[in-house]
Structure 1
């Protein structure tokens, strides 16, 4: 089976003008679908060519026969015509597209944007698309993939970012990629003239995230069993609950310790081995897990996971009617560190 392309692979081919007759863009993450479709819409044709050769339709307003008839037209005064079908998940009888794909017009670039769902890969349509074009599954990124996404996005704009700054943005914004890109673009605009590196200080000044009091720093304190630093951070969290909601902190801690539990079962106890076992893209991302493994036993990690779950339940009112989120977090961190 051929390696599935990611959105950067597809964009790289498009930039080389290596066009396919069909791009079926589907999945739960709308950001990647929009990036690819917008690149095709904005870059394949010149402004003069777009008037006759660019067609954008919506699945709710058209049907497969109209789409195919449009795709069969020849371009006017251009090498290509581009047909983009947005909201493709609403196109009825889409399986009939198979007949067009068996002999597509190579001068037509047909793009389907199917958000919040996927084609059934067992059907003939998926197989036909893969034979001659691109069938792209736009998957939501997992938390550990966000720093790499941030770095890749900024690299395309010739901007570097400090690893701590990248982790701060990942924690603060989360997996909403459209919002992430918007926040990163703001940071780029605020960079002083001649500076091409985003730092934690710049994020603190322009985004409002404290570079010293955040979940990234709290996790670092817990990993290193730095009681003083951890208590300083949770005191700040208690005093600023709107900026540091308990649910985000618990999510960060649960994700880390759940992965740490898996580390004990990694067959190769090196950075590279643990990164492969956890599905981390970069080996250095495993360093924190190795440090934590030296501080916490497997039995302790199991108890910590149970404590985090219990804290989460109490924050939602289970066996708790009056204890604040700040006090709940203080109790949890005490249990973890002692």
Structure 2
């Protein structure tokens, strides 16, 4: 993505950008970069057209793209929610022979079927970008990299705290990093206390610390953390907690199944950085394979209970969390 944005910022534009995939954040970043850089503010009134797939058709889209720019090198046409455009295959001719005085952006909210003839017709000098989700095991690394691009000094533990608390919502992570940037001076290290203030994650009571407690089988600390969660279930909903723990235990099972009990073997199996792989490996060695499989079953059971299946209406989310963590740690 960054290479595409760098090219755009250098005013090197392509006639067509087909942006698609499961991660809307990257698609939005590229789209916004084109809008911000292709035209000056005074040129946009007559030379920028923003359409939505559900409200337009191929004929109108092609007509807008063929419109000649007025006192500007380009006419920019952005089609948002392009997945809702009917008869998208009728764009084949336009994609094969794009208008060089226009910049056409097709922004989809899902992945395009690359076997389709219309996408295969896209001219070679155009952009076909697939926006993939950042895997859970790479999320803290992405937070660290994004922090550096904003000039923030965020260490690996703080990056992991942000990733674990917010999850895969990259747009929210990006906005919260902007808040942190506004509240720090150049070169100032971002402390956990500031993270807590900005995004509401406590250094001692967060999903990251709960995972650490369960990985080291510190049952007392785990109960203290979920007791804190239970006091404010709206800020600490059980479903994301279950998801994070499911991911953690699943990685341990992968190591047992592959019999990867060396740091290098664990990193290869998990496709993770050595530091993170070593941490999961250390945790996996504290659990038997049978215990890990049982814990996955416990998580599935409490996922159902949290949705009202098999639980009484009098059982609070806090009680469910405490029961669940007790079973996981014993």
TM over 0.5: yes
Residue 220 of structure 2 is aligned to residue 241 of structure 1: no
Gapped runs of 5+ residues in structure 1? 1-6
* Alignment of structure 1 residues 1-338 onto 2, 5 Å: 7-115=1-109, 117-129=110-122, 131-191=124-184, 193-266=185-258, 269-280=261-272, 282-321=273-312, 322-338=314-330
Length-normalised TM-score, structure 2:
0.87
Of the structure 1 ranges 267-276 and 125-134, higher mean CA displacement relative to structure 2 is found in: 267-276
d(CA) in 1 for partners of 2:93 and 2:225? 62
Query: Aligned with 2:150: secondary structure?
Result: coil
Contact 1:162–1:200 (CA under 8 A) maintained in structure 2: no
d(CA) in 2 for partners of 1:310 and 1:66? 52
Structure 1 327/101 Cα, relative in aligned 2: closer, same or farther at 3 Å?
closer
Query: Aligned with 1:225: secondary structure?
Result: coil
Structure 1 295/133 Cα, relative in aligned 2: closer, same or farther at 3 Å?
same
d(CA) in 2 for partners of 1:93 and 1:251? 38
Query: Aligned with 2:174: secondary structure?
Result: helix
Contact 1:64–1:97 (CA under 8 A) maintained in structure 2: yes
Query: Aligned with 2:99: secondary structure?
Result: coil
- Provide, for residues 138-188 of structure 1, a one-character-per-residue CA deviation record: whole Å limited to 9, x for no partner: 233343333233223222211121222222222222223333322222222
Query: Aligned with 1:105: secondary structure?
Result: coil
Of the structure 1 ranges 65-74 and 162-171, higher mean CA displacement relative to structure 2 is found in: 65-74
Gapped runs of 5+ residues in structure 2? none
Deviation of residue 20 (structure 1)?
1.8
Length-normalised TM-score, structure 1:
0.86
Contact 2:51–2:78 (CA under 8 A) maintained in structure 1: yes
Cα-Cα RMSD: 2.6
Aligned residues: 329
Deviation of residue 217 (structure 1)?
0.5
Contact 1:70–1:83 (CA under 8 A) maintained in structure 2: yes
